[in-house]
Amino acid sequence: MILLRLALRSLANRWMTVALTVFATALSVALFLGVEKTRSGARASFADTVSGVDLIVGARSGSVQLLLYSVFRIGSATNTVSWQSYQDIAAMEGVAWSVPLTLGDSHRGFRVLGTTKAYFDRYKYRGGRSLRLAAGERFEDVFDAVLGADVAATLGYTLGQEIVVAHGLASFALHEDRPFRVSGILEKTGTPVDRTVHIGLKGYEAIHLGWQSGARMPGFSVSAEAVRSMDLTPKTVTAALVGIESRLAILRLQRAINTYPEEPLLAILPGVALQELWGLVGVAETALAGVSLMVVATALLGMAAMIMAGLNERRREMAILRAVGARPRVIIAMLVLEAALISIAGALCGLALLYVGLLVMQPWLDATYGLFIAITPPGPEELAILSAIVGAGTLVGLFPALRAYRLSLADGMTVST
């Protein structure tokens, strides 16, 4: 007990260098855990975004690309699916439900999604939660729009407000002659839905009447009222979410869609595509984890260097301990104990820094990147990482400890420094 007390007092005696070392260790621990937390948060966030959907169908491209643009609103489709093909798929044996998705336009930086009202029933997130309206109602009229929570919050929109959709994702061409009215605002979901403006398929078709190749056709002018009476059946959709009656039929249905004779289509299983995505980003993840691990290693080596640098000043202290009967291994134990105490303090401070960082960054990450990182108590994996860091720090402490041991043997009872 007295050795622990002495080790603590010895550390307190050098509080400035010790505090800096603890801070450096804490920063590295927070960085390492932060990277892990972000990685697992990103995976959970992606996995939570798509729930209850058995197949995603789009024009033939890459499965990851289809997943990203249809569900996560990342990137764009290179081709579309004809309305006829979509209807054929919806009518296939074994298909329980389908929801068409049309993407391509935007509103002040937020994507606009054309879909049907079934989307609000069929889209599930975080293990089966349904979308719920915080205010208003789903789109009933052709020019009704339902806003995601972040869209409304960021732009300060309220029910009844008129909004104008822009053609394309970064276009100055506006569908200003056919504005939409905000009919509903969704509750926060922590998914890309929050950053999406939802309109009906008919509305999507309506604003594109008289447009060709991304530009308004000269001389074509139809009022919004007149549009309502026109045939607004879409000609194409970007993708479709599909639910099936029996999971046993999923592979058969996927094969049927992938070999659809009328046009080249691609059906993907969201879980498999996600795995493919993790496989692609795994290298970057590993590199990031490697860098943060190196930062931890650097901090621990810095700690060893700090203890090592102080040894010369502490030779008298070691000589006193040896003279009163401390075995060399007690000297080793004391220095290893110091390293362990610094590592423990660094790990705990790092954990505290992480949570403070999460509290500060969580709303910004969610709003900016749609990355929702849950603030939960440290799990077994994090505790294992912290234990490993403390263990590594203690091991690293052996270097100065062995040096002190050699010095204490060489110095004998007196030190002539």
Partner 1 sequence: MKETADHSGAFAPAAAVALDGVRFAWPQRRQGARFSIAIDRLVIAPGERVFLEGPSGSGKSTLLSLLCGILSPDSGQIEVCGAPFSALAGGRRDRLRAERFGIIFQMFNLLPYASPLDNVMLPLTFAPARAARVGRDREGAARRLMTDLGLAREVVEAPRASSLSVGQQQRVAVARALIGAPDIVVADEPTSALDAGAQEAFLALLFDQVAEAGATLLMVSHDAALGARFDRRLALTDMARVSREGAA
Binding site for partner 1 (CB under 8 A): 2-3, 5-6, 9-10, 12-13, 316-317, 319-328, 330, 412-414, 416
- Concatenating the DSSP letter of every residue in 279-293 gives HHHHHHHHHHHHHHH
- Rounded to whole angstroms, how far apart are CA atoms 272 and 368? 27
H-helix or E-strand spanning residue 257: helix 250-258
In the complex, least distance from residue 317 CB atom to partner 1, rounded to whole angstroms: 6
Number of C-beta neighbours around residue 12 at 10 A? 9
In the complex, least distance from residue 14 CB atom to partner 1, rounded to whole angstroms: 9
Would you say 239 and 57 are in contact if contact means Cβ atoms under 8 Å apart? yes
Nearer to partner 1 among residue 13 and residue 368 (C-beta): 13
Q: Which amino acid is at 293?
A: L
Q: Who's near 378: CB < 8 A, 6+ residues apart?
A: 351, 386
Nearer to partner 1 among residue 288 and residue 330 (C-beta): 330
Nearer to partner 1 among residue 12 and residue 283 (C-beta): 12
- Helix, strand or coil for residue 7? helix
Q: Who's near 330: CB < 8 A, 6+ residues apart?
A: 3, 321
What is the distance of C-alpha 164 from the center of its chain? 30
Nearer to partner 1 among residue 307 and residue 390 (C-beta): 307
Taking phi over 0 as left and psi of -120 to 50 as alpha, with beta for the rest, 173 belongs to beta
- Rounded to whole angstroms, how far apart are CA atoms 107 and 197? 7
Q: Exposure of 247 by Cβ count < 10 A (0-12 exposed, 13-18 middle, 19+ buried)? A: exposed
In the complex, least distance from residue 315 CB atom to partner 1, rounded to whole angstroms: 11
Beta strand ranges found along 26-94 (DSSP E)? 55-59, 81-82
In the complex, least distance from residue 411 CB atom to partner 1, rounded to whole angstroms: 9
In the complex, least distance from residue 191 CB atom to partner 1, rounded to whole angstroms: 56
Nearer to partner 1 among residue 317 and residue 382 (C-beta): 317
Taking phi over 0 as left and psi of -120 to 50 as alpha, with beta for the rest, 396 belongs to alpha
Nearer to partner 1 among residue 3 and residue 96 (C-beta): 3
Q: Exposure of 284 by Cβ count < 10 A (0-12 exposed, 13-18 middle, 19+ buried)? A: exposed
Nearer to partner 1 among residue 13 and residue 376 (C-beta): 13
In the complex, least distance from residue 194 CB atom to partner 1, rounded to whole angstroms: 56
- Rounded to whole angstroms, how far apart are CA atoms 313 and 309? 8
Nearer to partner 1 among residue 370 and residue 400 (C-beta): 400
Nearer to partner 1 among residue 31 and residue 319 (C-beta): 319
- Rounded to whole angstroms, how far apart are CA atoms 341 and 241? 54
In the complex, least distance from residue 22 CB atom to partner 1, rounded to whole angstroms: 17
In the complex, least distance from residue 281 CB atom to partner 1, rounded to whole angstroms: 50
- Helix, strand or coil for residue 212? strand
In the complex, least distance from residue 295 CB atom to partner 1, rounded to whole angstroms: 31
Nearer to partner 1 among residue 175 and residue 315 (C-beta): 315
In the complex, least distance from residue 33 CB atom to partner 1, rounded to whole angstroms: 33
